């Protein structure tokens, strides 16, 4: 089935999957067409300023009160929520993981989520969690909504098909989607299996960063964000609705699908974005700018310029800086950096950081190019170079990221990651040139 989308970021959209289903000129007619129920979904307080006020009107077969029932608590051990101070023995340090293996037993999307880090406090609607997912079974009659935050999904392996209340989104590696807080979904893997990353954002919603002197274009352009047209299921079979609410999980049974929205209008909606349409802006003479130049989406905190979480990418691009060390510099940061790799190789690491893997450089812990990367970048001839075959990303948050016990105990945690800097030698020998001899470069 060909999927259709509407372009724009945060637009006021309208869409109907049956003609005349969407009321015109008002939100709540005495009787809706097709006998539908009108329902408002509020993504911001009613009185939020116009620029951040988000809500949609949904016209559905049954109101959402019919999609709930007697909830029972369910344990979901691997999906953690901040504050989560798991007991584990791992000391602080720079950390890196190999990719999680694909599951061998049947597992669906929500059962295939493993939390790596949590930050902030879900009860105060601040902070985030970073997860990995790996699954091989579709959520046929299982549905889910997350009251704790919006979810940015970033596939590394295999497509994702996300049937949301407001339409169907399909993404592949190099694309992302954002599912708003509270939106019912079911997720399937059109390729049979899928693996990737999730940023669960407890805070203010992702927005496009201001561009400052860059002006009105480049970076992520609003028209490249796509929101699905309305789609629905009219399905009366036993179904389960799973809910995440303040870090706890619940489920209830229904005798129908809750994805029954025939038409909707408004600006609170899911969207996808193709990272290949990101227009990077960077150094065209010398030096390496701060990575904030690669911010795709930013979820603000109450403090200006201090993100609850930024979603940043490092895409293919040209490197042209003269007399400069071109990879990212050595760094200590008040923000905490969770990184992953969708494909290829990241320019600060010559080895060990692989697609599907994760690295964590937490608050004030130093990081930067590995020995090989440093030596190569320090001696290479600085011709214009196109960085090919690379797509890394970062979830960068103002809050320290607490490691889950799962992440600390994962057998694919690399024990020797910090050794990647052990070959960096002392070059200081009292001369202005320093010692760049082969002896210290090996």
Residue ranges binding Fe ion (CB under 5 A): 331, 333, 337
Least distance from C-beta 95 to Fe ion, angstroms? 14
Least distance from C-beta 291 to Fe ion, angstroms? 7
Measured from each CB, the residue nearest to Fe ion is 331
Report how far residue 36's alpha carbon sits from residue 310's, in angstroms, rounded to the nearest whole number: 39
Q: Which is nearer to Fe ion, 256 or 331 (CB)?
A: 331
Least distance from C-beta 346 to Fe ion, angstroms? 12
Query: Which tokens sit at 226?
Result: 């796509």
Query: Which tokens sit at 350?
Result: 């010559």
Which residue spans within 11-94 are E strands per DSSP? Answer: 13-16, 37-42, 55-60, 72-74
Q: Which is nearer to Fe ion, 142 or 350 (CB)?
A: 350
Q: Which is nearer to Fe ion, 175 or 337 (CB)?
A: 337
Determine the 3-state secondary structure of 294 from DSSP: helix
Q: Decide: 11 and 224 in contact? Cβ < 8 Å.
A: no
Length of the chain counted residue by residue = 442
Report how far residue 134's alpha carbon sits from residue 78's, in angstroms, rounded to the nearest whole number: 12
Least distance from C-beta 331 to Fe ion, angstroms? 4
Residue in the structure block whose two tokens are 């090989």:
372
Report how far residue 371's alpha carbon sits from residue 163's, in angstroms, rounded to the nearest whole number: 45
Beta bridge partners of 146: 244
DSSP letters spanning 313-351: EE-SEEE--SSS--SPPPB--SSEEEEEEEEE--TT-SS
Q: Residue 328 phi/psi, 5° resolution?
A: -55, 145
Beta bridge partners of 385: 319
* Catalytic machinery residues: 288
CB hemisphere CA count around 83 (13 angstroms): 4
Least distance from C-beta 94 to Fe ion, angstroms? 10
Least distance from C-beta 7 to Fe ion, angstroms? 33
Q: Decide: 378 and 60 in contact? Cβ < 8 Å.
A: no
Helix, strand, coil fractions of the chain, as percent rounded to 5: 10, 35, 50
Least distance from C-beta 353 to Fe ion, angstroms? 13
Q: Which is nearer to Fe ion, 330 or 436 (CB)?
A: 330
Q: Decide: 261 and 48 in contact? Cβ < 8 Å.
A: no
Report how far residue 139's alpha carbon sits from residue 191's, in angstroms, rounded to the nearest whole number: 14
CB hemisphere CA count around 185 (13 angstroms): 31
């Amino acid at each position: 089935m060909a999927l259709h989308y509407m372009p724009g970021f945060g637009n006021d959209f309208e869409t109907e999957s049956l003609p005349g289903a969407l009321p015109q000129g008002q939100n709540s007619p005495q009787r809706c067409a097709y006998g539908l129920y009108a329902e408002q979904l509020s993504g911001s307080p009613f009185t939020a300023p116009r620029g951040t006020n988000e809500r949609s009107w949904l016209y559905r077969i049954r109101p959402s009160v019919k999609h709930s029932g007697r909830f029972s608590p369910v344990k979901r051990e691997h999906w953690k929520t901040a504050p989560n101070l798991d007991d584990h023995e791992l000391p602080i340090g720079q950390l890196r993981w190999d990719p999680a293996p694909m599951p061998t037993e049947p597992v669906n999307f929500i059962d295939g989520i493993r939390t790596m880090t949590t930050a902030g406090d879900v009860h105060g609607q601040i902070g985030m969690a970073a997860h990995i997912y790996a699954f091989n079974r579709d959520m046929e009659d299982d549905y889910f909504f997350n009251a704790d935050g919006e979810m940015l999904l970033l596939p590394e392996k295999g497509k994702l098909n996300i049937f949301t209340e407001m339409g169907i989104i399909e993404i592949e590696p190099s694309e992302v989607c954002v599912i708003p807080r509270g939106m019912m979904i079911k997720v399937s893997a059109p390729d049979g299996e899928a693996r990737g990353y999730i940023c669960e954002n407890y805070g203010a919603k992702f927005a496009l960063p201001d561009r400052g002197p860059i002006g009105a274009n480049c970076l992520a352009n609003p028209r490249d964000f796509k929101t699905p047209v309305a789609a629905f299921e009219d399905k009366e079979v036993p179904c389960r609705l799973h809910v995440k609410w303040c870090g706890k999980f619940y489920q209830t049974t229904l005798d129908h699908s809750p994805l029954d929205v025939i038409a909707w209008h408004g600006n609170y909606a899911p969207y996808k974005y193709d990272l290949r349409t990101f227009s990077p802006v960077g150094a065209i003479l010398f030096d390496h700018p701060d990575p904030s130049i690669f911010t795709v989406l930013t979820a603000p905190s109450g403090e200006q310029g201090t993100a609850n979480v930024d979603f940043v990418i490092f895409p293919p691009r040209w490197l042209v800086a003269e007399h400069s060390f071109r990879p990212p510099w050595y760094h200590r940061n008040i923000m905490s950096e969770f990184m992953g790799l969708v494909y290829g190789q990241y320019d600060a690491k010559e080895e060990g950081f692989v697609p599907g893997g994760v690295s964590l450089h937490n608050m004030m812990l130093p990081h930067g190019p590995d020995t090989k990367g440093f030596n190569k970048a320090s001696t290479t001839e600085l011709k214009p170079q196109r960085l090919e075959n690379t797509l890394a990303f970062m979830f960068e948050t103002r809050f320290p990221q607490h490691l889950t016990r799962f992440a600390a105990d994962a057998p694919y945690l690399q024990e020797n990651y910090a050794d990647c800097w052990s070959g960096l030698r002392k070059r200081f020998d009292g001369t202005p040139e320093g010692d760049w001899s082969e002896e210290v470069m090996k």
